[in-house]
Amino acid sequence: MQPVWIPGEGYFANAYVLGSVLVDAGVSPLAVRPHRDAIETIVLTHCHYDHIARVSEIAAMCSAEVWIHHRDAPGLSDVSSNLAMHFGARTPPRVPDGVLDEGDRIGTCTVLHTPGHTPGSICLWDADSRTLISGDTVFADGGFGRVDFPGGSIIDMRQSVERLAALPVEALCPGHGEPVSAGGQRHIEAARRVLRQAYG
């Protein structure tokens, strides 16, 4: 199943609808509204504000549970971790309905723990359709997520991108920028080469 792309606006992240799952919640609730009857679960790829800003509103609108990797769960309430202050905002404290870990299944996807941008960053991998929803781990322009925010690690990022580069990715659905429907592996390989050349 191919995800439905809901483009992010400005600095806010893309969201994707995959069956009954909404991935990330920085977009306007109005943009999600056409899918509200289908959405049962919101999965957050990491805790940064541009990915979680509207999570409470969207969860209430859809009567959906909110899930995030256990290492980023505290960031839903911690403004120093989720960078809300960079957006001139505050996040009301929120406890997720569930926490994720490596290998968990979300619909047709497998959770891949890909730290580097944050300690609990994840990607969702659908092996049947060769689709990767990559959050801010890797982008469809050969780029990768920043590692200079709290909890970031260039060592972890290198390991995460190396891992993703080994997957036969066709569709690459990143947290920012346009997704690509074919040849996604080439974009990940470009990020892997940059990381190797710049950071050894």
Q: Mean pLDDT by 10-residue block, N- to C-terminus, for the chain (200 residues)?
A: 93 97 98 98 98 97 98 94 90 90 96 98 98 98 94 97 98 98 97 88
**Which residue in the block uniquely carries the two structure tokens 């069956």?**
19
Looking at residue 88, its pLDDT comes to 87
Distance, CA of 167 to CA of 145 (rounded, Å) = 18
What superfamily in CATH does domain 4-199 come from?
Ribonuclease Z/Hydroxyacylglutathione hydrolase-like (3.60.15.10)
Bridge partner residues of 69 (DSSP):
100
Looking at residue 35, its pLDDT comes to 98
Domain boundaries along the sequence of the chain: 4-199
Whether the CA torsion 111, 114, 117, 120 is positive or negative: it is positive
Looking at residue 200, its pLDDT comes to 64
Supply the DSSP symbol for 66. E
Distance, CA of 68 to CA of 105 (rounded, Å) = 13
Length of the chain: 200
Distance, CA of 157 to CA of 150 (rounded, Å) = 14
Looking at residue 93, its pLDDT comes to 80
Looking at residue 163, its pLDDT comes to 98
Looking at residue 198, its pLDDT comes to 79
Residue pair 116/164 in contact by the 8 Å Cβ criterion:
no
Is the pTM value of this prediction over 0.95? yes
